[in-house]
Chains A and B, each alone.
Chain A
Amino acid sequence: MRRVAVIGVGVTKFGRHDRTSAELFAEAAADALADAGLPATAVQALYYGNVVGSETEKQLHTSPQAASVLGLPAVPTTRFETACASSHAAFRHAVMEVGSGVSDVVLVGGAERVLNVTTEESTEYFAYASDARWEQTLGLTFPGVFALVARAHMTKHGTTEAQMAAVAVKNHKHGTLNPKAQFQKEITIEQVLKSAMVADPLKLYDCCPFTDGGAAVVIASEEVAKAAARRPIWVLASAAASDWMLIGDKRDLSRVPATERAAAAAYRQAGLGPQDVNVVELHDCFTIAEIVATEGLGLFEAGTGGVAAEKGWTSLGGKIPVNPSGGLKAKGHPIGATGAAQIAEVVTQLRHDAGPRQVDGARVGLTHTLGGNTATVLVSLFGRD
């Protein structure tokens, strides 16, 4: 495999938009190409993530649509759908296309539009990522899935609701430093604990919001990257793993085995370990998801992720800053765009370009994106020379 670098990034404001997901992607992609200093004609392929477009926008065939709206009607495109991990899955495959020598410049990204439908509708559409016959028929929701994880983690390790709340408080604080974030206000532990119950023990402020938005990154071969406008940020690893689809088949709900497998593969590819990572953007769709991910990525011992959050070890300025962007919790979670947006943040951090939320001296960064009911996880590692 050839070395591959990220040479351009672009992210829309996250929140509510009156534009289609294709339009949101086009804005992010144009920004990413401008950042890379490349003309649109340099793009040789588009790898695209979009999840519920067929429901919220009555739109299939979203990858050529996105390319058309961007003004690149002729490039080969592929849409990836692995629930919330879609554009990270797209990224991994794009890295293989450039790494293998098929293309030199590939555009990767995703977009989602969900705030044009009601919460009941979007809750239903997100639940489509659980098994239709075995789980959707029970009225299982995504907060419900992670509530089961939370209860199992609390039972096994003594994790507390206050520790989960500490994740929300931290990510909201980080979000105030990110002008693209959906939420830019601090919250308190008490506000989280007193917010409305969504799926016991998860409360409203344990949950990320529904979000419209787009994100894009430009990846390139070493030869192109070395001549690029910006410092290349190298892709050190990009790995994927899966787990059983049904909750009933997951033998220990306090763990996410797909995270552990993808992380092991990524560390092996890069020849690095968790102790080498300086900044992390991980999938905090719910506060418990961040706690379990910090354990699965090897940043903390199993069962101690809650303590780490409570002690501030994952805050900016802490031992290992997690989600300096505000994470899904405060930055927002436009599901098809999330993986690419996490990569854009880590690239910005490794360029030392993140302003008030910069992790001092960051040289190695990690992104972790989880799909749906914990059946898909992607982990990538990035470094600056």
Chain B
Amino acid sequence: MLQLLVAGLTVGSEYGLIALGIHIILRATRVVNFAQGEFTIVGGLVALTCVDVLHLNMWFALAGATLAGFALGLAFEIVVLRPAGRTGEAGVTIATIGAVFVLLYGHALVPGWGSNPQPLPGFGGPATGSVELAGATVQVQSLWVFALLIAALAVLYLFFERTYFGKAIRAAAENPLGARLIGIDVNSTRAVSVALGIALAAYGGTIIGPITLVGGAAGFALTIKGFVAAIVGGLESPIGCVAGGLVVGVLQVFLQSRLPYDIADPIVYSVLLVMLLVRPQGLFGRRDAVRD
């Protein structure tokens, strides 16, 4: 039981980070980034290159993948989203779907990445280590995932709640007109928001890498799980997104332990429909959050 719970919270952490990235980008650009899962995959692969080619340990690989995600996010906003934005929100949404295919088929062409999932070493030891916890066998890497999830949330919280620039980003996301009229360059805050969202995707793909392998074609499925998580928790609430991710992860692992794999996943997806019908603001969202 505890073992399943830990396994669920582990994958749920990744869904939560994907949901949070979708949330940050949605706030700033009013667009759902369907490529969020693909950027998670690419982030894990950057970490793999850091380890295999540059012979860095996992901590530096994590830093490298996160920074690469940030740079990639900036480029993504400036080269793809901003020009697409001139055609309206629908155009940007379609551009993110286009990015899914570019990243999906593109990453397989990169030497050393390929199309098959590959293992990453663990944080602070081998990827396979485990400990006894309250009578259950728990993977050490799961504990690292939790710690790194909390660390990322703490950093983001401090950035958005305590720093001047973080507040400027929130202000520009909430009211672009008001922000422009006090001299905030909304294009820049938007680019930084997208970059943060993609950096978060890359970070999430790396911290879970030792457990789930990195690479492969699962990116879009990750996006959908992240989106379900965001809807379950409340798309407008950052804490809700993470909590929704954990709920979806646990639900998925419990269902998979009882049902065949190809039945468990559709049930997880149908949660999305039920939530949209019954409680569109999410478990943790406010009712008035639905209108945008």
A and B found bound together = no
B residues whose Cβ falls under 8 Å from a Cβ of A: none
A residues whose Cβ falls under 8 Å from a Cβ of B: none
